[in-house]
Amino acid sequence: MGEETIGLISGTGPQGRGLAMRFAAAGLTVLLGSRKADKAEETTKELNAKINEYFPGLSFPKIQGVENSFAIQNSTLVMLTVPFENAEDTLDSLKTDFQKGTVFVDVTVPLLFGKGDVQLIEQPSGSGSKQLRKLLPETIPFTGAFKTLPAHVLEELSLSMDCDTFVFGDSKEAKERLMGTIKRISSLRPLDVGGLSAAATVEGMTALLIRVNRKLRSREGRFQVVGVSE
Amino acid sequence: MGEETIGLISGTGPQGRGLAMRFAAAGLTVLLGSRKADKAEETTKELNAKINEYFPGLSFPKIQGVENSFAIQNSTLVMLTVPFENAEDTLDSLKTDFQKGTVFVDVTVPLLFGKGDVQLIEQPSGSGSKQLRKLLPETIPFTGAFKTLPAHVLEELSLSMDCDTFVFGDSKEAKERLMGTIKRISSLRPLDVGGLSAAATVEGMTALLIRVNRKLRSREGRFQVVGVSE
């Protein structure tokens, strides 16, 4: 397997922008998708300008703004970066665009932001990822990652990530491809936390983290596991 | 409220020993309970000897080995430190010993260790803590903490904790008392992650951590939230 191409479904939101920046800064090709190509191109122009600021003189594979379908058809790691409330509809409308050999990466968390608190929205199958798994063809391996990472820290390349991301999925091979690619991102460590059944806990961790952030007036909280090394 | 006294129900196991060491090293009075006083005294003698090694010449309130009932009746923060499989029976048999003003702290996690993997044991009410809450009188505030901390790191005072512990409970006052006391332990930070409904995620985090430990051949993995400070 050669180098992965990163596809971001509806990547114009905070999580998509952040991941686009980190993967592009790592030297990977990123296809940032949107329902409309011109919206994707607008975001892409802005992000590429920021990358050029951080790395003046270096030539990176630019982030490319494309339609969602094109991003899916031409990427090997496809990440769904919409808010969870749009995740099921978006994925359902695009599922036929997935190609054999592509790995799907779920980044979404079903959160409900209430007055002064944040809650997970209970899912019939137990987690957001399990809900989405049902929509994709069985032939496309399903993984999850990046669920506990603050979007604006991802986007701000001047901030060191200095944390871990929890990766799960039932296909060992797909997880290994994803983890190998995450390792390209500076100071971000992927940790394998098991199969799809781990999704509920990882999604719950996002809710806990947002609570901690709010109490301690931060937007930058993220998890690191200390006491383990590879 | 003056200084808390720490009671450990069935504190002769790994988690009880570890917490006894850290609280005693922090200068707090610890009543380490067991069904039989002589078993508690045996463990206590061993632990006190280790504490004296770490802090020669300093006089600490010694850990005292007592019967479980005595520990509960004479402590203000009572922690249940049995394996979860014994937790319900143990708590049920001792619930009448709790005194008004005492805060209960659940430390248990319902884990099933299988061949090569670890799973949470599904609970009818959604988490181990919710199961135990039902057994205690409503007048005793219920909290949870220390669920994700490795017992042998707690016990080994030469190891710096350097991590966070996730504290939850529906009584704000009880949480504050518990968190204030946890802060006495060197390099261990309590983080408030919400009410009793947070228990399921915190217990799931223990399972994920053990998986990470096994994959990376460690016994010392623990969580730290970076990017937040008080």
Closest-CA distance of chain A to residue B91, Å? 27
Q: Are A201 and B198 in contact (CB < 8 Å)?
A: no
Q: Are B228 and A216 in contact (CB < 8 Å)?
A: yes
A187 interfacial to chain B (CB closer than 8 Å)? no
In a domain, A221, yes or no: no
pLDDT of residue B72: 98
Residue-by-residue pLDDT tens, chain B, 230 positions? 579 999 999 999 999 999 999 999 999 999 999 999 999 999 999 999 999 999 887 776 789 999 999 999 999 999 999 999 999 999 999 999 999 999 999 999 999 998 878 999 999 999 999 999 999 999 999 999 999 999 999 999 999 999 999 999 999 999 999 999 999 999 999 999 999 999 999 999 999 999 999 999 999 999 999 999 98
- CA nearest to A204, candidates B12, B204, B75: B204
pTM reported for the whole predicted model? 0.96
> Which of A163, A191, A218 minimises the CB distance to B212?
A191
**Low-confidence residues of chain A, pLDDT below 50?**
none
Secondary structure of chain B in HEC code, one letter for each residue:
CCCCEEEEECCCCHHHHHHHHHHHHCCCEEEEEECCHHHHHHHHHHHHHHHHHHCCCCCCCCEEEEEHHHHHHCCCEEEECCCHHHHHHHHHHHHHHCCCCCEEEECCCCEEEECCEEEECCCCCCCHHHHHHCCCCCCCCEEECCCCCCHHHHHCCCCCCCEEEEEEECCHHHHHHHHHHHCCCCCEEEEECCCHHHHHHHHHHHHHHHHHHHHCCCCCCEEEEECCCC
In a domain, B72, yes or no: yes
Nearest CA in chain B to A204: B201
> What pLDDT digit, counting tens, does each position of A7-52 carry?
999 999 999 999 999 999 999 999 999 999 999 999 999 999 999 9
Q: Could you give the CA distance from residue A89 to residue A102 in angstroms, rounded to a whole number? A: 20
Residues of A in contact with B193 (CB under 8 A): 208, 211-212
pLDDT of residue A1: 53
Residues of B in contact with A162 (CB under 8 A): 226
Q: Are B208 and A163 in contact (CB < 8 Å)?
A: no
Handedness of CA A45, A50, A56, A59 (dihedral sign): negative
In a domain, A227, yes or no: no
Beta bridge partners of A64: A31
C-alpha distances (whole Å) from A24 to each of A47, A50, A157, B199 are 10, 11, 11, 38
B163 interfacial to chain A (CB closer than 8 Å)? yes
Secondary structure of chain A in HEC code, one letter for each residue:
CCCCEEEEECCCCHHHHHHHHHHHHCCCEEEEEECCHHHHHHHHHHHHHHHHHHCCCCCCCCEEEEEHHHHHHCCCEEEECCCHHHHHHHHHHHHHHCCCCCEEEECCCCEEEECCEEEECCCCCCCHHHHHHCCCCCCCCEEECCCCCCHHHHHCCCCCCCEEEEEEECCHHHHHHHHHHHCCCCCEEEEECCCHHHHHHHHHHHHHHHHHHHHCCCCCCEEEEECCCC
In a domain, B39, yes or no: yes
Please give the distance of CA B102 from its chain centroid, rounded to a whole number.
Answer: 15
> Which of B204, B223, B230 minimises the CB distance to A216?
B230
Domain of B207, in residue numbers: 5-215
B215 interfacial to chain A (CB closer than 8 Å)? yes
Q: Into how many domains does chain B fold?
A: 1
In a domain, A194, yes or no: yes
In a domain, B133, yes or no: yes
A118 interfacial to chain B (CB closer than 8 Å)? no
> What pLDDT digit, counting tens, does each position of B32-86 carry?
999 999 999 999 999 999 999 998 877 767 899 999 999 999 999 999 999 999 9
B77 interfacial to chain A (CB closer than 8 Å)? no
Q: Could you give the CA distance from residue B143 to residue B198 in angstroms, rounded to a whole number? A: 11
In a domain, A223, yes or no: no
Helix axes A14-25, A37-54, angle to 10 degrees: 50
Closest-CA distance of chain A to residue B56, Å? 28
Closest-CA distance of chain B to residue A216, Å? 6
Q: Could you give the CA distance from residue A108 to residue A81 in angstroms, rounded to a whole number? A: 6
Closest-CA distance of chain A to residue B89, Å? 27
In a domain, A220, yes or no: no
B186 interfacial to chain A (CB closer than 8 Å)? no
CATH number of the domain encompassing residue B53: 3.40.50.720
pLDDT of residue B224: 98
A116 interfacial to chain B (CB closer than 8 Å)? no
Contact A157, A51 (CB under 8 A): yes
Which residue type occupies A143? T
